[in-house]
Structure 1
Amino acid sequence: MKSILLLEDDLGLSEGLTFALKKQGYEIDGKRTIAEAKKAWNEKKYDLLILDVSLPDGNGFDFCKLVRQNSEVPIIFLTASDEETNVIMGLDIGGDDYVTKPFKLGILLSRVSALLRRTKIGSDDKTILESNGIKVDYLQGIAFCEGKSIDLTSVEFKLLCFFMQNPNIVLSKEKLYERLWDREGNFVEDNTLSVYIRRLRMKIEKEPDCPEKIITVRGMGYKWRVML
């Protein structure tokens, strides 16, 4: 049984989500403050975290930073704002996805299921990928650019791997959604994928505004262009 830590201070919402997630077969620990969540995190291993952003004693971003010091557990943010600055902040510090309040329960359940399924890389995949000066080690969960370690979030890491597994092939947004979230594209906020792409480009491209590795194919999607 997969275990989920839910950090949400709204009692009604927390109880509703706990009930719904338990019906899906998950084990849920609901906490309402960062202090309670820290204690739970130190005492137990979780398969996924759902973090509200605004909390009585801080915010979910701070707790995410704490977790990312020693764990790559999938993290979903619950936020009352879909402003791009908040989205970028959440993804940049290590979040894997976000859901804007108010949201449909089915969307959150779909994202939880997708992240849990995508956490482990299939055993039939190659464990080492190398292309365009980038080297990825699946087993270690690390990536290098020109020999220097790159600090990637878990979704950025999966996105980079997917591109490198499909060199010189145009990948539609729908295909990328399917790979990363395993759900229909209309369940994803419009700017989510573009934010991931932009953040990844900033970490691997010499000139992010004029990318050479991750190319935008207008009207079709994106392509990992292998440079000789």
Structure 2
Amino acid sequence: MENILLVEDDLNLIDGLEYSIRKNGFNIDVARTVKEALSLYEDRRYDLLVLDLTLPDGTGFEICKKVRLTSTVPIIFLTASDEEVNIVMGLDIGGDDYIIKPFKLNELISRIKALLRRANAFQGEASVVSSNDITIEFLNNRALKNGEILELTVAEYKLLSLLMKNSNMILTREIILNKLWDGDGDFIDDNTLSVYIRRLRCKIEKDPNHPKMILTVRGIGYKWNVVR
């Protein structure tokens, strides 16, 4: 049975969330503060974290940053804010999904199950992928260019990994959004995805304005081009 850590300080939400998560076959621990959450996380192994953004002694971002120093455990953010800056920040520091309050409990359960399926599937993938002088070491959660570590945000790393694992295949924008963030992509529009693509190109392409590796397929999506 998979273990979930719920970090939420709203008593009106906790009972319903806890009941629904248990009903769907998961073990769950509940923390109401950053301090309590980090204490629980250090003492027990969790398969997924659900983090409220605003907490009495800090934010869910703080918990995510601490966890991402040592773990790739799936993380979902809960927040009443739908501002794009918070969404981008959450994804950049390592969030896997983002759900806006108010939400339906069934929607959260679906997101949880999708993230856990993806995490379990990842265990059977190759540990290293390499092309165009770019290498991704999945076990070390890092990407290198000509042997030098690339300074990527978590979201940029995920995007590069997805593209390289599907070399020479056209990935639609919808596929990219759903694969990376396991939702309908409602909170990430085309402009946001374009920003990630542009930032990634600036870090790996010799001439970002004339990319050779990350190609735009006009009207469809993007493709990782293996340069011969």
When normalised by structure 2's length, the TM-score is 0.85
| Equivalent residues of 2:163, 2:224 under 8 A apart | yes
Identity %: 51
| Equivalent residues of 2:93, 2:154 under 8 A apart | no
Q: Return the alpha-carbon distance in structure 2 between the equivalents of residues 100 and 209 of structure 1.
A: 35
Tell me by how many angstroms 1:205 deviates: 4.0
| Equivalent residues of 2:96, 2:180 under 8 A apart | no
Moved more, 91-100 or 190-199: 190-199
Q: Return the alpha-carbon distance in structure 1 between the equivalents of residues 147 and 100 of structure 2.
A: 38
Distance 1:199 1:60, change over 3 A: farther
Q: Return the alpha-carbon distance in structure 2 between the equivalents of residues 182 and 100 of structure 1.
A: 14
| Equivalent residues of 1:5, 1:48 under 8 A apart | yes
Distance 1:86 1:155, change over 3 A: closer
| Equivalent residues of 1:96, 1:153 under 8 A apart | no
**How many residues end up aligned between the 2 structures?**
225
Task: State the superposition RMSD in angstroms.
Answer: 2.5
Tell me by how many angstroms 1:149 deviates: 1.8
Tell me by how many angstroms 1:74 deviates: 1.2
Gapped regions of structure 2 (runs ≥ 5): none
1:63-102 equivalence runs, <5 A: 63-102=63-102
Partner of 1:16: 16
| Equivalent residues of 1:74, 1:154 under 8 A apart | no
Amino acid in the other structure paired with 1:217: V
Gapped regions of structure 1 (runs ≥ 5): none
Partner of 2:28: 28
Partner of 1:6: 6
Partner of 2:55: 55
Report the secondary structure of 2:63's partner residue.
helix
Q: Return the alpha-carbon distance in structure 2 between the equivalents of residues 66 and 126 of structure 1.
A: 27
| Equivalent residues of 2:91, 2:154 under 8 A apart | no
Q: Return the alpha-carbon distance in structure 2 between the equivalents of residues 191 and 64 of structure 1.
A: 23
Cα displacement string for residues 117-154 of structure 1 (whole angstroms, at most 9, x for unaligned residues)? 1114252x433211122101234433212322235566
Partner of 1:137: 137
Tell me by how many angstroms 1:91 deviates: 1.3
Cα displacement string for residues 22-58 of structure 1 (whole angstroms, at most 9, x for unaligned residues)? 1111111111111211211121111111111111111
When normalised by structure 1's length, the TM-score is 0.85
